[in-house]
Amino acid sequence: MMKKTIALLTGGGDCPGLNAVIRAVVRTAIHEYKWQVLGFYDGYRGLVENDYAELTADTVDDLLDKGGTMLGTSNVHDPFNFLVDGQKRDLSQQALQNLHDLNVQALFLIGGDGTMRSGEQFRQLGLNIIGIPKTIDNDLVGTDFTFGFQTAVKTATEAIDMLHTTAESHHRLMVMEVMGRYAGWIALYTGIAGGAHVILLPEIPYDYDLMTQFLIERRNKGKNFSIIVAAEGARAIGGHMVVQKIRDNSPDPIRLGGVGALLANELEQRTGIDARSMVLGHLQRGGRPIPFDRVLSTRFGAAAVEAAADEEYGVMVALQGTSIVRVPLQEASQGLKLVPADHELIKIGHNLGVCFGN
């Protein structure tokens, strides 16, 4: 086996388990194959600006349980649209030159849909790419789960458990807004795990009249509080997602946020029940990965190195069922994996009496 130099970067929003992947890639590459491993800082920024360090086995000690990423990350740097002095420029050739000068044979991209899309563009330019699916949103095509998602769900579920006491004591509606961008995975899993009475997903636009009726009926049955979990991308039928800010320099410039407050106001007025909202926000991306994510990250990292050892490039490692598989990057970088209308948890939720707003 020829000695290789591989490089890795973490792109997009941070996520529990990134460090565990870095550790798994570095350790497997060094212990098993004696390869050299380089890490670029702050995602594609480091690749374009040639800001990197060699990652030796020692540099990844004590990383397994740490949130965030030791390499730093960025969800605003796109090598094909790189902002320089206020102008967007295609600096992909610069990135390729840096990799060539460093004699890198394979680039490992640990990221979400934006990172994988740029990875696919690099693949088309002839680069050896291996993708590793990261995001708390769980919205990457080709994998049943991304690492980080289950940790975010645990954080959000614990938050609902805590909201219950105030909701019950004050007989209120409590609306909790969770992340997930255009996909409702975090809201769905958290809502089911936390026993929410109403779960609102971007995939199922909600009807205010129906929700009002549901909440009043609940109160009339003597249930004097309700918990509502709303995905940040949830929207009323015929309405729009609530945009919090636009980050012009980002590949996806829209930052969602604010639907929780909107829902609390509207539902308070319509039902006459005191309502409060809270936004869980970036807490969902923080903290230590739960064991499931540490194991998944480690499996992904090890599988990515095996793919490079097999010289099978242009793939993303993925979890399908209980197996780790390789899916073509071209497939994984197409669109988003949204919650299907016939998802098992939606059916189960309906049968349990949960209102999905429709």
Is 134 a residue that touches ligand F6P (CB under 6 A)?
Answer: no
- Per-residue buried b or exposed e for 71-83, using 16+ beta carbons within 10 Å of the residue's own CB: bbbbbbbbbbebe
Is 177 a residue that touches ligand F6P (CB under 6 A)?
Answer: no
Is 16 a residue that touches ligand F6P (CB under 6 A)?
Answer: no
For 350, half-sphere exposure in the C-beta direction (CA atoms, 13 angstrom radius) is 8
Is 235 in contact with 264 (CB distance < 8 Å)?
Answer: no
Is 110 a residue that touches ligand F6P (CB under 6 A)?
Answer: no
Is 184 a residue that touches ligand F6P (CB under 6 A)?
Answer: no
Q: How far is the CB of 90 from ligand F6P (least distance, A)?
A: 23
Is 339 a residue that touches ligand F6P (CB under 6 A)?
Answer: no
Is 136 a residue that touches ligand F6P (CB under 6 A)?
Answer: yes
Residues 284-313: x where in contact with ligand F6P by CB under 6 A, - otherwise, as a string: -x----------------------------
- Interface size with ligand F6P, residues (CB under 6 A): 13
Interhelix angle for 185-194 vs 344-352, to 10°?
A: 40
Whose Cβ is closer to ligand F6P: residue 202's or residue 314's?
202
Is 336 in contact with 141 (CB distance < 8 Å)?
Answer: yes
Is 146 a residue that touches ligand F6P (CB under 6 A)?
Answer: no
Is 202 a residue that touches ligand F6P (CB under 6 A)?
Answer: no
Q: What are phi and psi of 327, to 5 degrees?
A: -115, 145
Four-CA torsion 31, 313, 46, 63, nearest 10 degrees:
-40
137 part of the active site: yes
Which residue in 19, 36, 74, 75 binds ligand F6P (CB under 6 A)? 75
Four-CA torsion 305, 308, 309, 311, nearest 10 degrees:
160
Is 36 a residue that touches ligand F6P (CB under 6 A)?
Answer: no
Which residue in 180, 184, 202, 260 binds ligand F6P (CB under 6 A)? 180
- What lies within 8 Å, CB to CB, of 150 at 6+ separation is 290, 292, 293, 296
The kind and range of the H/E element at 130 are strand 129-133
- Per-residue buried b or exposed e for 292-303, using 16+ beta carbons within 10 Å of the residue's own CB: bbbebbbbbbbb
Which residue in 164, 219, 255, 288 binds ligand F6P (CB under 6 A)? 255
Token duo for residue 344: 């098992």
Q: Give the nearest residue (CB) to ligand F6P.
A: 179
Whose Cβ is closer to ligand F6P: residue 75's or residue 128's?
75
Catalytic position from the list 14, 78, 113, 137: 137
Q: How many residues does the chain have?
A: 358
What residue type is assigned to position 319 of the chain?
L
Q: Distance between CA 74 and CA 94 in Å, rounded?
A: 18
Which residue in 13, 39, 67, 202 binds ligand F6P (CB under 6 A)? 13
Binding site for ligand F6P (CB under 6 A): 13, 75, 112, 135-137, 179-181, 232, 255-256, 285
Catalytic annotation, residues: 137
